[in-house]
Amino acid sequence: MEFKLYHLHPAAVHFPIALLALGAAAAGLRLRKRAPAWLAQAESWLLWLGTLSAWTTLGLGLLAEKSAPHVPLAWEVLAEHEELGWWTAAVFSALSGLRLFAVRTGRDAGKVRVAQALLWVLGLGALVATAMHGAELVYGFGVGVRAP
C-alpha cells in the first residue's frame, strides 16, 4: 500500500475519541462522594492530551481535505464534519483552560465544577457528531477509500 498524507487523519482520530471519552469517565467518577484523589489528575491529563490530539487531528483533517480524492456528493457532509471538528476542538480548549484554572487556584467546586460538567457534555456531543459525520464520509461516500 502506498502512503498518502490523508491516511494520517483516520489513524489519528482515535486518540481524541479515546482520551476524551476516558477523561469524561474520570470526571463522572469524580462526582462520587468517596472518589479517589488520583481521578482529578487523571481527568486533567486525559482532557489536556485529548484536546491536544483533537487539534492535531483537526490539522491532519485539513491536510486530508486538500489531498484526499474528492467525492462531490460528500462535500456538504465534509463541510459539516470540518465545522464540527473546529467546534469540538474549541469546546475542549475552553474546558482545558477552565480545568487548568481550577487546578491552579484550587477552585474545583461549585459553579466551576458545574461549568466543567456542562462543557464535558457539550464537548462529548460535538465529538460524537464529528465522528458520525466522519463515518458517513468513509462508509457512506467512500471518501479516501480505494475502489476495488
DSSP states of 63-121 as a string?
Answer: HHHHHSPP-GGGHHHHHHHHHHHHHHHHHHHHHHHHHHHHHHHT--SHHHHHHHHHHHH
Query: Looking at residue 32, what is its pLDDT?
Result: 86
Structure pTM? Answer: 0.93
The whole-angstrom separation of Cα 131 and Cα 142 is 15
- Digit-by-digit pLDDT tens for the chain (148 residues) are 678 777 899 999 999 999 999 999 999 999 888 999 999 999 999 999 999 999 999 999 999 988 877 788 999 999 999 999 999 999 999 999 999 999 999 998 899 999 999 999 999 999 999 999 999 999 999 887 776 6
The domain ranges of the chain are: 5-140
Contact by Cβ (8 Å): 104, 51: no
User: Roughly how many angstroms between the first and final C-alpha of the chain, as a whole number?
Assistant: 13
Query: Looking at residue 63, what is its pLDDT?
Result: 92
The whole-angstrom separation of Cα 47 and Cα 124 is 11
